[in-house]
């Protein structure tokens, strides 16, 4: 396998990325293939959090004979790659195996920050009191926070569509604030926990107005 420099990891959170260079108006001779010792490897990897894979288009400066525009190589599946030479030309798509990715770029991947962790805590109807099942998740949340050297915690309050948008915003904030107090009581620094409210604006389950839906009465916790 070539030892090309890896300078770009294109994750699923970015739907597409493009590397481009200006194409000459006329090309009399085809561009030589990239030199593996100096080429840049563009590698498409699954999103670390959800495991999904996006798409990426890599454009070189070698034009297509049909359009006279820079040829484009599309990466659409996990571990697909292309080499881009100093002259801007890109090779055909090749797929690296899991073992090749680990051997060549394992140390780089291990240095990336861990993916965020998410927890959802549900509430009783028209209340800032957690259900028993959600309260039982608190030790898991504490453990996840303490595994991070410098944790960032966001508690986002949500409601169902009963009540007015204004009162639901206040209830969402009340729920998020209650969760922050609960985590602080369990040992976390309350200053490290940001609280926000979406009220009824970001429903987990889409419903009409004035609809009781337990899954929408929640606080989502994100730990980075």
Least confident of 122-131, 150-159, 203-212: 122-131
Residue that wins the pLDDT comparison between 5 and 112: 112
Distance separating alpha carbons of residues 75 and 55, to the nearest angstrom: 6
Q: pLDDT band at 62, cuts 50/70/90?
A: low
Question: Domain 117-223 is in which class?
Answer: alpha beta
Convert 199-224 to b/e letters by CB count within 10 Å (16 or more is b): bbeebbeebeeeeebeebbbbbbebe
Sorted by sequence, the CB contacts under 8 Å of residue 150 that are 6+ apart come out as: none
Q: Does residue 38 have a pLDDT over 80?
A: no
pLDDT at position 9, please? 43
Domain spans of the chain? 5-110, 117-223
Q: Are 56 and 74 in contact (CB under 8 A)?
A: yes
**Tokens at 34, concatenated:** 């990239």
Residues in the chain, total = 224
Q: Say if pTM beats, i.e. exceeds, 0.95.
A: no
Q: What is the mean pLDDT of residues 93-113?
A: 82
Distance separating alpha carbons of residues 71 and 82, to the nearest angstrom: 13
Q: Are 83 and 102 in contact (CB under 8 A)?
A: no
């Amino acid at each position: 396998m070539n030892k090309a420099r890896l300078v770009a990891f294109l994750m699923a959170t970015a739907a597409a990325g493009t590397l481009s260079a200006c194409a000459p108006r006329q090309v009399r001779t085809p561009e030589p293939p990239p030199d593996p010792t100096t080429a840049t490897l563009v590698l498409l990897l699954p999103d670390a959090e959800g495991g999904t894979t996006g798409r990426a288009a890599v454009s070189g400066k070698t034009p297509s004979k049909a359009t006279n525009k820079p040829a484009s190589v599309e990466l659409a599946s996990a571990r697909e790659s292309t080499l881009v030479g100093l002259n801007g030309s890109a090779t055909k798509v090749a797929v690296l195996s899991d073992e090749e990715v680990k051997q060549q770029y394992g140390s780089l991947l291990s240095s990336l920050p861990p993916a965020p962790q998410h927890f959802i805590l549900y509430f009783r109807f028209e209340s800032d009191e957690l259900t028993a099942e959600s309260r039982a998740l608190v030790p898991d949340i504490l453990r996840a926070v303490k595994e991070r050297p410098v944790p960032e915690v966001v508690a986002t309050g949500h409601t169902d569509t009963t009540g007015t948008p204004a009162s639901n915003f206040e209830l969402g904030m009340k729920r998020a604030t209650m969760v922050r107090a609960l985590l602080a009581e369990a040992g976390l620094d309350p200053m490290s926990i940001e609280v926000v409210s979406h009220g009824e604006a970001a429903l987990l389950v889409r419903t009409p107005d004035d609809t009781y839906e337990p899954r929408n009465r929640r606080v989502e916790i994100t730990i980075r």
